[in-house]
Structure 1
Amino acid sequence: MSTIINDIEIIKAESSKINEVDFDNLTFGSVFSDHMLVCDYKEGKWQAPKIMPYQPITLDPSAKIFHYGQSVFEGMKAYKDVDQNVWLFRPLDNFKRLNISSKRLSIPELPEAYFMEGLKALLELDKDWIPTNDGSSLYIRPFVFASGQGFHASPADEYKFIICTAPSGSYFSGDVKVLIEETYSRSANGGVGFAKAGGNYAGQFYPTQLAKAKGYHQVIWTDDNTHEYIEEAGAMNIFVRINDTLITAPTSDRILDGITRKSIIELAESEGIDVEVKKITVTEVVEAAKNGTLKEMFGAGTAAVVSPISAFGYKGTDYELPKLNDTYASFLKKRITDIQTNKTEDPFGWRFKVV
């Protein structure tokens, strides 16, 4: 059955798959909800979005996504509180960043209404898919890619914007052991490291597999020129605590302007934690580990929120971080997730009510 709500055509699935899902044992991003939003760009403008049953998409072999990599995405989550209200966390920041990424890859920018109204309509339709177990959420993946055809090396003339959702459990379990990268680079000055472009992540996989073969879980990326400065942790921003000061690298052409990163900085400052946004050298981190002033390292991103680092390797030596009872990582993660799930006040205005 098809209906029109706020100019969005909604075609409902004939039956739901929800009863086939074990919500007590959700892996991350592998089970998908009943519906998805699709919006096409053609003839020089974005067409009206529509919601349809989750299904495969068909593309011509000459679609430019396959050849020239015009693809960007976002990561978001929806939460339910104890009263079954549905919440998002800073969704306009995701919308703005999607367009920043799109612009860098010559992809037409989306109208805000298509993103926000389409997302709200999709979540209202599939709200029963939002899990309520601790640590679980409905992961949301908006993405845009080149669907226009042709082998000519130029921007496409047609694109698809899609939002899919997946009920998911925790992204990481336990602490993470990382390797500081000395050879490979995630991105370069003047490049697309600040954008959430699919190719950025494809380029990370090989060095990460090399690190895993050595017994590490992830890579800490360093600058492309000298490999002297730490920049990101895997697919996340990175924070380092030396004594009681929390340090993170400034954003740049190479570093993603993470929404969780921004939230941690603002939240930590509001709690009286000393925060420094500055370049931090590998040498500084290693020396702090040796003299005992390195208290914590953790990654920050939408999927994991905060992922503590238990040890790091550099030039053949592993450095264990101390096991503290009260960490900034656990404190900040709880403060953020309590805001996200409406368990506490939101003095920052980050929470967005869907329904």
Structure 2
Amino acid sequence: MSGESRHERIRQDAADTQPPEDVVASVVVPTFRGIDRLPALMDAFAVQGPDSPAFEVVVVVDGVDDGSPALVEAEDRFRTRTIVFPENRGRVAALNAGLAAARGEILIRCDDDLVPGPDYIAEHVAAHSPSPRAVIGLYRNEYARTRYAEVYGQDADRRFRAGAYEAPVELRWRYWAGNCSVHRSAYETVGEYDPAYRLYGWEDVDYGYRLHRAGFEVMLVPSLETPHRVAAVTARSRAVRAKHAAAARRIFEAKHPECQLPPAIPPASAWNLLVRGAAPLIGSRAEAAGAFVDRIIPRLPAAVGRKLVALLVEASAVAGYRRPDAASDVF
């Protein structure tokens, strides 16, 4: 994408008079109703260390002008450009527009709810030496103080990160997400994110797998683990996301039948039989079921609450996988 089209407008910092070749890294930030999240992110970019390579931040505002374009366009501490969609198109479209407009050799994706450290850009760039790679920094989720976070969210986050670092090198592509980077040559080889992923989930896993399949080393960099102001802070939101993600998995499986994934429907065990039995009861009601769990877990012992949330999340995923056409809850 180049220039301005009737579909979106691109704004480049008027103070940026240096040639594009000077930009080493481009940070692409997709944002939707991000006015409350962007200030902390902008502040983090403003204090990148003195050894940070020259960079630009390309913010793609996905169809809702909540003040985000003006906030980014007023930024004068580093180079910014904004792409503004006149209507909501989804995260994949925002990522693709930002990557197509980026000018750097290292293309960094940074979600708008992250708070990068002062060496964030320098470390992403350094990780691509001496050869192009696909680089992942995990989220370190920071939760609002909810009962969901206390009994389930924080523990699930710790276990997820531990599992990621223990994963075999050949499976690390599964952790591709909102804190990652590629060399331009890898982007030009693999191409854009797949617009077939329209709701929530698996567009990242798909991209990571395509990088892996194209022969690029996918590496986790522990020093790039970044605070993440997590959005799923209730059982309701977590259940709906699990359902959407399980439905999106069907798209991945159809695209990549050669890829061997862990089973979507859990194998027989006492717990998994309970999960399977609960899935039809949840059906299209993941949002309502999650809201009910949120109401009762403050009155339950932590261990019981944790099991109840786990049952809800896992059963929602099974329901979404079995009926991907019915995964239409709004979160």
Q: What range is the shorter-chain TM-score in?
A: 0.3 to 0.5
Please state which structure has a larger fraction of its residues in helix: 2
